[in-house]
Structure 1
Amino acid sequence: MSTKAVFTMKLEAELRDEFMAATMEDDRPASQVVRELMRGYLDQRRRSREYDEYLHQKVEAARVSMREGRGRSNEDVEAAFAAKRRQLMAG
């Protein structure tokens, strides 16, 4: 992969030294490890955004269901499961 941009950053000397020593122990270029860390961070953010969108869609679908009278109230659900718990405990 050819270098197309230079990225400069400030960090503590101790952190830099420890990082460089670790990459040398692994016989890997520090720049390669930093690129992998960056890609991992971006992937984590992408997955987080996708999950947030998924969750938003689920909540909105539940709201629509409740508005249309197809949902059950929290009280109804709690009562149904309380009855199931009592049945299991008696069983």
Structure 2
Amino acid sequence: MSEATFTFRVDDGLKEQFSNAAKSRDRSSAQLLRDFMRDFVKQQQEAAEHDSWFRREVQIGLDAANAGDVVSAEEVEAEAEVWRAETRRKMIGSRS
């Protein structure tokens, strides 16, 4: 793996505080910055993957709705009532 130098300007006070905080963790500032960069890249990749998944799911829903494959509000409410009744029954049973 090739390495590159990353140079940027930062306030002297912040640099000193960061260096001290890094030393208190037995790490160098550079080690922590690399860790932060890796974490940030990972978070961005995960966010992009989630966004892609979400867009696919929405498209599936839109395609189903456009094809007329929908459930009426009444059917949803009926299923929800069954679920609520079952949940109430379990809650009462767990108190015994």
Same fold (TM over 0.5): yes
* CA RMSD of superposed structures (Å): 2.6
Equivalence for 1:65: 64
Equivalence for 1:44: 43
Within 1, Cα distance between the matches of 2:84 and 2:26?
61
Consecutive unaligned residues in structure 2, runs of 5 or more = 90-96
Q: CA deviation at 1:35?
A: 0.5
Please, what TM-score do these two structures have when normalized by structure 1? 0.76
Larger deviation: 27-36 or 49-58?
Answer: 27-36
Within 1, Cα distance between the matches of 2:14 and 2:75?
52
Q: CA deviation at 1:66?
A: 0.7
Within 2, Cα distance between the matches of 1:59 and 1:16?
45
Q: CA deviation at 1:79?
A: 4.3
Please, what TM-score do these two structures have when normalized by structure 2? 0.72
Give the 3 Å change call, closer, same or farther, for CA 82–12 of structure 1 in structure 2: same
Number of equivalenced pairs: 89
Q: CA deviation at 1:31?
A: 0.8
Equivalence for 1:21: 20
1:54 aligns with 2:28: no
Letter in 1 for 2:19: M
Within 2, Cα distance between the matches of 1:25 and 1:51?
35
Consecutive unaligned residues in structure 1, runs of 5 or more = none
Identity %: 26
Letter in 2 for 1:66: A
